[in-house]
Structures are given as structure tokens and as C-alpha cells.
Amino acid sequence: MKKKKQDVISTNYLDMIPMHNEAYPYTIENDKVTIHIENRGIMNRICQLLFHKPKVSYVHLDEFGNFLWPLIDGNRTIYELGHFVKAEFGDKAEPLYERLAKYMRNLESYSFIIMKQPSYDNPDE
């Protein structure tokens, strides 16, 4: 059985395409991004009743995230986003791609973003 070209290629993380996870709504006010997390489930409900925990938690992004979040559109790669970050922050963003990759992995670990594989055009198919 012949493997497809996409199966053989290992994707560089900078070629991945981030997109917002629709499960987490967000608001942007005064250029500040706030992600809303609804606390669901039986344990959360019990904590809400007994300990007055909120039904919705809010995550406020830092300066780097506030700039980056609106640029995540499901079309740009992490590498392309790095160009915008470099233009905005200059040397303050260095080491640029290591820092950007770590930030994206953090957002992905909390499921705030979803990573999409890039599509490679294969002229043989």
C-alpha cells in the first residue's frame, strides 16, 4: 500500500494554522481580549451552590495575546503571525519563534485554539 505524501511529511509547528475554538466565546473591549469559560458539570454546579463559585470564568490575555488573538483567523500560519509580532514588538519579542510557539502551545493546551494542518498541494495526485 502506497503512503500518501501528507502521511510521510512531518509538519513543522510553525507551519500549523491556529484557529479559535468556538467552544470558548470571547470579547474584545479597548483592545483587551477576554475569553469566557462556562463552568459546567455536576462538580462545578455543586461548587457554585456551596462556595458561590461563578458560572462563567474570565481569562484576560496579556499584551502579547491581546495583539495576537485578533490576527488568528484560521488562514495564517504561526510563521506568518510571527512577522506581525516582529513588526509590532521588535526586539521585545525575541526569541520570536520560540516564544511564539510556546505561547501557541499554551493556548492550545487550554483548548482556546485548535491547530489545523496545512494543506500541501500535491501535483502527483
In a domain, 20, yes or no: yes
CB-CB contact of 69 with 25 (8 Å): no
* Cα dist from 21 to 71, 113, 116, 125, whole Å: 14, 5, 11, 32
**Per-residue pLDDT tens for 20-52?**
999 999 999 999 999 999 999 999 999 999 999
Determine the 3-state secondary structure of 71 from DSSP.
Answer: helix
In a domain, 14, yes or no: yes
Residue 8 pLDDT greater than 50, yes or no: no
Instruction: Report the number of distinct structural domains present in the chain.
Output: 1
In a domain, 110, yes or no: yes
In a domain, 123, yes or no: no
In a domain, 32, yes or no: yes
Question: Domain of 63?
Answer: 5-116
The model's pTM is 0.81
The CATH number of the domain where 26 resides is what?
Answer: 3.90.930.60
